[in-house]
Amino acid sequence: MKPTDLLRLRDAVAAYPSEPSDEQMAEELGIPLTQLIRFDMNTLGGGPLPAVVEALAAYDPARVVEYGDQNYARLRVAITAATGAPAHRIIPGAGADELIRLVTTMTLGDGDTVVIPTPTFAMFAVEARLAGARVVEVPRRVPYERQGVEAIRAVAEATGARLVWLCSPNNPTGDMYDHDEIEQLADGLAAMVAVDCVYQELAEVETNLLPEGLSLLPIQERHANLLILRSLSKAYGLAGARVGYLVVPEALAARFEAARLPLAIGGPSEAAAIGALSDVRTARVRLAGIVNERERLAAAFIRLGWQVYESHTNFLLVRPPDAAGTAAALLAQGLPVRSYPAGPLADWLRVTVRAAAENDRLLAALGA
């Protein structure tokens, strides 16, 4: 076998689109780094939570020369306290991306089928193709009319799929499936159903629910084919720390625990995560502010004549009269938004909702 034959799967995979760093983008635009505000990355404005700052200040730098706790005992306890998920069914990982790969590794092999409603987070398909799996998309007719679970289930059954990905709330559209729909999809389905819930806290805050209010745990207790993916990148503002976790059914806990990387999360990141989870109340207050800002931005965009899709996240999917021109004009002012050069979202932009002062700058640039 030639060495190049070993790379045949990689050659067929479209990589996740790489984004320039803040420093690189500021340099290319010829602006100070302090003038750049990323409305394209779905990260929270306003800086880290106070509890995170305190946790990192208390972290002993001498500990970086040692390996941390590969069992993540303290982190699991913190997640359990915040969500109610049983500690032994929590599988920590270096952000959602690593855990998407773990789910893929555990469910798909060469020639297996995964069903993915699109448009959605690109890494679902990237990882599936790396595994040699066949990706079957269930596309939306238009971005603001999501697929019904009946259609997704029918495709999964017809193709003999081993895995179905569902992103709820969905990136990049911002809409979500309710519990009855998710249970309808999972009930009796031969495939595993993995639900990416990394934006769930935003939906919980806007409905004034407790952290467990939108939990899929009760459904998982009834359906052992349901995997729940969560992250601290969004609600807790820890995108740079790379901390996520899966909640898996009882019957699969030991298998996923054996397959995960033992030391994927570094000590400082784990400390930041534990700190953030110790103050869920402050995190929810900030998220409530983001929800208010989201509605303020949506109203301003509508006044500009833009189409705005209802969102349950910290971003808005919008359709201005000239998406490409609007994106270029904002980028020139150091305010990049996410654009889509081709495909069903070619006329749409995704705009991250940030802190009030940052959003003010965006609106001023638009003349809103």
pLDDT in tens, the chain (368 residues): 455 555 554 555 556 667 899 999 999 999 999 999 999 999 988 889 999 999 999 999 999 999 999 999 999 999 999 999 999 999 999 999 999 999 999 999 999 999 999 999 999 999 999 999 999 999 998 877 889 999 999 999 999 999 999 999 999 999 999 999 999 999 999 999 999 999 999 988 876 654 555 689 999 999 999 999 999 999 999 999 999 999 999 999 999 999 999 999 999 999 999 999 999 999 999 999 999 999 999 999 999 999 999 999 999 999 999 999 999 999 999 999 999 988 889 999 999 999 999 999 999 999 98
Spell out the residues 6+ positions from residue 327 whose beta carbon is closer than 8 angstroms to its own: 336, 337, 339, 349
User: Measured between alpha carbons, how far is 313 from 290 in angstroms, rounded to an integer?
Assistant: 9
DSSP strand pairing (163-167 vs 113-118): parallel
Q: Which amino acid is at 192?
A: M
Q: Which amino acid is at 226?
A: L
Closest by CA to 122, choosing from 350, 306, 325, is 350
Could you say which DSSP state residue 146 is in? Answer: P
User: Measured between alpha carbons, how far is 288 from 168 in angstroms, rounded to an integer?
Assistant: 19
User: Measured between alpha carbons, how far is 98 from 83 in angstroms, rounded to an integer?
Assistant: 21
The helix or strand, by DSSP H or E, that contains position 325, with its residue range, turns out to be helix 323-332
User: Measured between alpha carbons, how far is 364 from 295 in angstroms, rounded to an integer?
Assistant: 17
CB 25 within 8 A of CB 257: no
CB 346 within 8 A of CB 324: no
| Residue 318 confidence (pLDDT) | 98
CB-neighbour burial class of residue 318 (10 A; exposed 0-12, middle 13-18, buried 19+)? buried
User: Measured between alpha carbons, how far is 351 from 314 in angstroms, rounded to an integer?
Assistant: 9
Q: What residue ranges in 75-234 does DSSP mark as E strands?
A: 90-93, 113-118, 134-139, 163-167, 192-196, 226-231
Backbone CA torsion sign across 151, 157, 161, 165 = positive
Q: What pTM, to 2 d.p., does this model score?
A: 0.93
The dihedrals phi and psi of 47, each to the nearest 5 degrees, come to: 80, 175
For the stretch 240-243, contacts whose Cβ atoms lie closer than 8 Å and that sit 24 or more positions apart, written own/partner, are 241/268, 241/269, 241/272, 241/273, 242/94, 242/95, 242/98, 242/269, 243/75, 243/92, 243/94, 243/95, 243/269, 243/270, 243/272, 243/273
DSSP reduced 3-state for 317: strand
Spell out the residues 6+ positions from residue 194 whose beta carbon is closer than 8 angstroms to its own: 103, 107, 163, 164, 165, 166, 227, 229
User: Measured between alpha carbons, how far is 88 from 226 in angstroms, rounded to an integer?
Assistant: 16
User: Measured between alpha carbons, how far is 39 from 58 in angstroms, rounded to an integer?
Assistant: 31
Report angle CA 113, 118, 124 to the nearest 5 degrees.
55
